[in-house]
Amino acid sequence: MIKDRPAMVNYLYDLVERIGNCTYATLHLEYLEKYVDIQFVQWLVWLFTPIIIVFVFPFVLFILFFLSALFVRAYRYRYRLREAYNRDVWDGARNTLATAWDALGWLWHGYEIVGLENIPESKEGGALIVFYHGAIPIDYYYILAKAILIKKRCIRSVGDHFLFKIPGWNLLMDVCHVFSGSFQLCVQYLKEGHLVALAPGGVLEAQFGDEDYRLVWGKRIGFAKVAIEAQVPIIPVFTQNLREAFRSVKTGRRWLRKIYEKTRLPVVPIYGGFPVKMRTYVGTPIPYDPNISPEELAKKTAEAIEKMILTYQRLPGSIFKALLDRVYEKPKLKNI
């Protein structure tokens, strides 16, 4: 012991030393050191830590979803009596979640949205919002938050069937107006004056798209049929650097594509969570035209989004340059 130190500090130093000696003897680390190069192991940990982190971030995002689901469930229990008398009992929960996600977007991605005025007000009726699907559609969560907080409108969105099979998510999907997306239900919501959002590429585009930002829609024209039947405009939407925030693994895609075709489940691993600059562009609405066919309308919508990609997105996408966009980029449109 050192006499100049206080007695309590000496005691703590002595305790830590005893624990260390005890642990060393108990775990027989002297034998481990004979067969394992501890410094080499430490170097491996240092080397692979960044790789491990980028695969952990998507799981962190799912944890945030579970926390959101837990919040709305707790909110329901707290206001279970009001729910019987007040139709808008969930407005508080939606606004709370929207505020949290909006703050996350601002903090982690410097998120901005351009052209929010192209989304109609409540009195202006419904519209179909069509967007490009990233590996994780985190941009849509930010768009939804902006719509709730600024436009005072909750967008009803079409979600894949597997989302409703995740334990604990059903109530969250209900509160956020996510539905499975039947043709009749989409048309009904639009005719009632609601906003409906969907990504024609869906899970297929999410898993097998890449940094070239090519649309993976195939011959999907169901969304165009919905817009024509409901007689509403289509609003094209694209988010800059979406594929640089999260990416899907390219290795083994041909094999994974076969599994997806049989199971319709997201089987491609996702990595990322990079704090890149993200900016959403809400395009000029494509007005309802009774004389246009679903095929022509689908093509027109795809061309509108492809034009936005060519205008606003660096091709091919670069994670490093997208990170630099947080620091400096050329001034463009006025943002919100």
Residue 135 per-residue DSSP state: S
Q: Which two tokens stand for residue 63?
A: 């944890």
Spell out where 108-170 has E strands: 112-114, 127-131, 156-158
Beta bridge partners of 282: 237
89-325 has which CATH code?
3.40.1130
pLDDT at 44: 61
pLDDT at 91: 83
CA 169 to chain centre: 15
pLDDT at 123: 82
pLDDT at 334: 46
Residues with a known catalytic role = 133
Cβ contacts of 312-317, under 8 Å, gap ≥ 24: 312/238, 312/240, 312/279, 312/281, 313/213, 313/238, 313/240, 313/241, 314/241, 315/211, 315/212, 315/213, 316/210, 316/211, 316/212, 317/211, 317/212, 317/213, 317/241, 317/243, 317/244
pLDDT at 4: 55
Given a cut of 70, the residues of the chain with pLDDT beneath it are 1-59, 61-62, 65, 73, 75-89, 330-336
Give the contacts of 212 (CB within 8 A, at least 6 positions apart): 315, 316, 317
pLDDT at 107: 87
pLDDT at 70: 73
Q: Quote the CA–CA distance of 320 and 211 in Å, as a whole number.
A: 13
Query: Domain residue spans in the chain?
Result: 10-87, 89-325
